[in-house]
């Protein structure tokens, strides 16, 4: 095993033991090396965790050649972003063009120079990590460091589809910092930013399960996605989150609700009735409940089922 457990993972896919041995010896000082001896093994490993950072893929293999393996990798949403370098004895232009059309990032012909292999692997590993970093930043709110609205919407869509498949409950909470404009006006925007960061951390601490997610929705508003969570459980968690923010003991001299920073929370839970199941309707109901929590005096939480009739 590579002593550096944080080293990038290179998956070598080749049915020839000699080729595997040469590549492993060449790369093992800088990378964690894994091996698949056929296409089926390669696909299974590429879908597993932790995912490879790069795949060295032989073209000429029995049953499923490298081109077919690459095509299936690029059709699969899990391993689609893993860079693939073809390693093959085919050196004609048509074969190389086919590899690039299928999504390969590079093409190394046999017999290969080990120095060239090392340089190309290093280059594409660096590009992959830079791309991963940029993608992570695109999903993170820069002020609070928690997921942003974009990530929330993608997570919500994914969990909503899972809830439909499994016929399981899904809850959403909308969380608003009470009288935040007055807080900013009194303490200044710098202190307001500090407040939002503290609230974000308090909300994170209030979550129980790894699958639950808190995100910043915009301004002083946060949201939570709670998979497999019914209305009763969502209501209890909403109360817990509200208390976590209250426990910050952060002064709010301009609040008409409390002398400390508080939040109002509105939530909604999917219904088993098909006509009540809609992602847009779920968010709309959570927003309605947030409005009611504010109208009811703030510093409170209200959660409703989608099929629950709301009186005016």
Kindly list the catalytic residues. Answer: 220
On whether the CB atoms of residues 61 and 17 are closer than 8 A, the answer is: no
As a whole number of angstroms, the distance between CA 10 and CA 61 comes to 19
In Å, what is the CA distance from 20 to each residue of 11, 15, 58, 261?
10, 8, 10, 61
CB contact set of 264 (below 8 Å; sequence gap of 6+): 175, 176, 178, 290, 293, 294, 298, 299, 300, 301
Q: For 309, phi and psi rounded to 5 degrees?
A: -75, 130
Q: How open is the CA angle 270-273-278, to the nearest 5 degrees? A: 50
């Amino acid at each position: 095993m590579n002593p550096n457990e944080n080293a990038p993972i290179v998956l070598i896919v080749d049915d020839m033991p000699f080729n595997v041995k040469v590549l492993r010896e060449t790369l093992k000082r800088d990378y964690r090396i894994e091996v698949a001896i056929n296409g089926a093994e390669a696909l299974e490993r590429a879908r597993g965790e932790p995912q490879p950072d790069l795949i060295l893929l032989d073209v000429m293999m029995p049953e499923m050649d490298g081109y077919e393996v690459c095509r299936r990798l690029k059709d699969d949403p899990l391993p689609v972003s893993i860079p693939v370098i073809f390693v093959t004895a085919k050196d004609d232009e048509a074969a190389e063009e086919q590899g690039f059309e299928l999504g390969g990032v590079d093409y190394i012909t046999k017999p290969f120079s080990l120095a060239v292999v090392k340089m190309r692997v290093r280059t594409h590993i660096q590009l992959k990590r830079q791309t991963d970093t940029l993608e992570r930043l695109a999903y993170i709110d820069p002020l609070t460091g928690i997921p942003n609205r974009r990530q929330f919407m993608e997570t919500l869509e994914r969990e909503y589809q899972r809830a439909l498949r499994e016929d399981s409950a899904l809850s959403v909470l909308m969380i608003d910092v009470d009288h935040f404009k007055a807080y900013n006006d009194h303490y200044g925007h710098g202190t307001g930013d500090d407040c939002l960061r503290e609230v974000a951390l308090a909300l994170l601490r209030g979550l129980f399960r790894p699958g639950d997610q808190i995100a910043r929705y915009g301004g002083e508003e946060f949201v939570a996605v709670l998979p497999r969570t019914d209305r009763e459980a969502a209501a209890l968690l909403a109360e817990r989150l509200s208390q976590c923010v209250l426990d910050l003991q952060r002064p709010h001299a301009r609040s008409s609700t409390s002398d400390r920073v508080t939040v109002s929370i509105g939530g909604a839970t999917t219904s088993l009735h098909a006509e009540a199941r809609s992602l847009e309707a779920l968010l709309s109901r959570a927003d309605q409940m947030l409005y009611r929590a504010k109208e009811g005096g703030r510093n409170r939480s209200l959660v409703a089922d989608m099929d629950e009739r709301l009186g005016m």
